[in-house]
Amino acid sequence: MSNQPKTLPARYYTDPGVFQRELENLFCRMWVCVGRTEQASRHSDFFLCEIAGESIIITRDGDVLRGFYNVCRHRGTRVCREQEGKFAGPIRCPYHGWSYGLDGKLVGVPHMDDSFQREKYPLHPVQIGEWDGFIFLNLDPTPNSQPLAVQLADLPKKFAPWGLRDLRRYKRITYDVKANWKLIVLNYNECLHCPLLHPALNRVTDYLSGNNDPPQPSYIGGSMELRDGAETMSVDGRRRREYLPGLNEAQRKQVFYYALYPNLFLSLHPDYVMAHTLWPEAVDKTRVLCEWYFHPSEMAKPDFNADDAVEFWDTTNREDWAISELAQQGIRSRAYVPGPYSPREMLPAAFDQWILQHERV
């Protein structure tokens, strides 16, 4: 009993200083998932994302995906105002018209002396990477930062059967949660709370079923079994779409839940995939984007409708956010002291350990 893991001290959920360090050490030095390839699939498509207070432009320059800080090199103005779209030509700052190619190079600059060296003023680049349709950024400016492949570890191989690259987004819902981002990670990684909190979910999967992988340096996760009679996660357990083409018999009867540190949750179902990305905004405030992806051959069917999956998870999401907010409120109390994790909460305990290891104060 003496080695039983306990929850973290309150300051990890309430101290703005701890939060700033986490932004710096985790969200600004690791690969964070910012979107899907389909959001910038053709030349000069772009979209913006905001991470740790930074606005980043993601755009496609021919075959190459690029990321830039949304900051003009002239007087610092945000050069791009629209959340997404297609650049009609160079990226032009709306203030004084400094213009940048899609490779970030400064190409137009009104009224400067001939001596002005425009090659010194490109848009500041950001490291960018892709995996199976997901786009990742890394704000770490150091040359030897960890490659995306290292952070992904064996997940590409593990998830190959679901063919994530081929799927397309059906729906996105944005949630503003008044809780520290880590409470949302803890909540995602155990189902001990499912019987009480998620009656609908508990009807289609057994919270005592499934297996967890041993915790990895960059992710945690595992599987759950669908109950007899249930074929996917939906209100009635009924599956209204073909199985994803690459799945074997066993995968067709399971749901897989993985949290890739620091901000991506992947929930793999027999007939669809759901992804959450976390966007910490304050020590007690997190924006969560939840997206649902389906196979294009299903989406092309005239009567395609996947609201059953969306509504099922939207309900479950809201139950999770509400309880995470109650946790945030309680942990703030002077009466809070770290409490004991049960044997069924080994993934949350592993995440806490990962947090402690990455403090780098």
Total number of residues shown for the chain: 361
By the rule CB under 8 A, 26 interacts with a second copy: no
The span of 77-85, 145-153, 198-206, 233-241 binding a second copy (CB under 8 A) equals 77-85
Least distance between a second copy and beta carbon 248 (Å): 31
| Cβ proximity to a second copy, 271 vs 320, nearer residue | 320
Stretch that binds a second copy, among 2-10, 147-155, 166-174, 299-307 (CB under 8 A): 2-10
- Tell me, residue by residue from 168 to 207, as one string, x for binding to a second copy by CB under 8 A and - for no binding: ------------------x-----xx-xxx----------
Scored b (16 or more CB within 10 A) or e, 51-83 reads bbebbbbbbbeeeebbbbbbbbbbeebebbeee
Among 75, 165, 172, 238, binds a second copy (CB under 8 A): 75
Q: Are 299 and 171 in contact (CB under 8 A)?
A: no
Number of residues that bind a second copy (CB under 8 A): 56
Binder of a second copy out of 12, 27, 69, 256 (CB under 8 A):
69
Q: Does 339 bind a second copy (CB under 8 A)?
A: yes
- Closer to a second copy at the Cβ: 24 or 359? 24
Q: Can residue 19 be called a binding residue for a second copy (CB under 8 A)?
A: no
Residue 141 preceded by cis peptide, ω within 30: no
- Residue 333 near a second copy by CB under 8 A: yes
Among residues 333, 165, 187, 336, the alpha carbon closest in space to that of 257 is found at 187
Question: Which of 11, 86, 96, 238 touches a second copy (CB under 8 A)?
Answer: 96
- CA separation for the pair 287, 65 (Å, rounded): 25
Which residue in 47, 51, 70, 268 binds a second copy (CB under 8 A)? 70
Token look-up 């959450």 returns: 276
Q: Coil, helix or strand for 278?
A: strand
Interface with a second copy (CB under 8 A), residue from 62, 116, 147, 174: 116
Q: Which of residues 266-325 bind a second copy (CB under 8 A)?
A: 323
From 47-55, 218-226, 284-292, 302-310, span contacting a second copy (CB under 8 A): 47-55
Residue 342: CB atoms within 10 Å: 12
Structure-token pair, residue 63: 């075959």
Task: Supply the minimum distance, in Å, between the C-beta of residue 306 and a second copy.
Answer: 30
Q: Which stretch binds a second copy (CB under 8 A): 106-114, 152-160, 217-225, 282-290?
A: 106-114
Q: Quick one: which of 287, 294, 321, 310 has its CA closest to 49? A: 287
Report the residue number, 36 or 198, with the smaller CB distance to a second copy. Answer: 198
The residues, any chain, with a CB within 8 Å of residue 115's CB and separated by 6 or more, are none
Nearer to a second copy, 174 or 333 (CB): 333
Q: Does 3 bind a second copy (CB under 8 A)?
A: no
Could you tell me which residues come within 8 angstroms of residue 40 by beta carbon, excluding any fewer than 6 positions away?
46, 47, 58, 59, 60, 65, 135
- Amino acid making up residue 24: E
Q: Does 73 bind a second copy (CB under 8 A)?
A: yes
Widest CA span in the chain: 76
**Minimum CB separation from a second copy for residue 209, in Å?**
14
Residue 41 has which token pair?
């699939």
Q: How far is the CB of 42 from a second copy (least distance, A)?
A: 26
Q: Compare residues 231 and 345 and give the one whose CB is closer to a second copy.
A: 345
Q: Is there binding between residue 150 and a second copy (CB under 8 A)?
A: no
- Scanning the chain, the segments in alpha helix (DSSP H) are 11-14, 16-22, 148-152, 155-159, 181-188, 194-197, 199-204, 296-299, 307-331, 346-357
Q: Please calculate the CA angle 194-195-199 and round it to the nearest 5 degrees.
A: 90
Where do contacts with a second copy occur on this chain (CB under 8 A)?
A: 1, 4, 7, 10, 53-55, 69-79, 81, 94-97, 109-113, 115-117, 121, 124, 186, 192-193, 195-197, 323, 326-327, 329-337, 339-340, 342-344
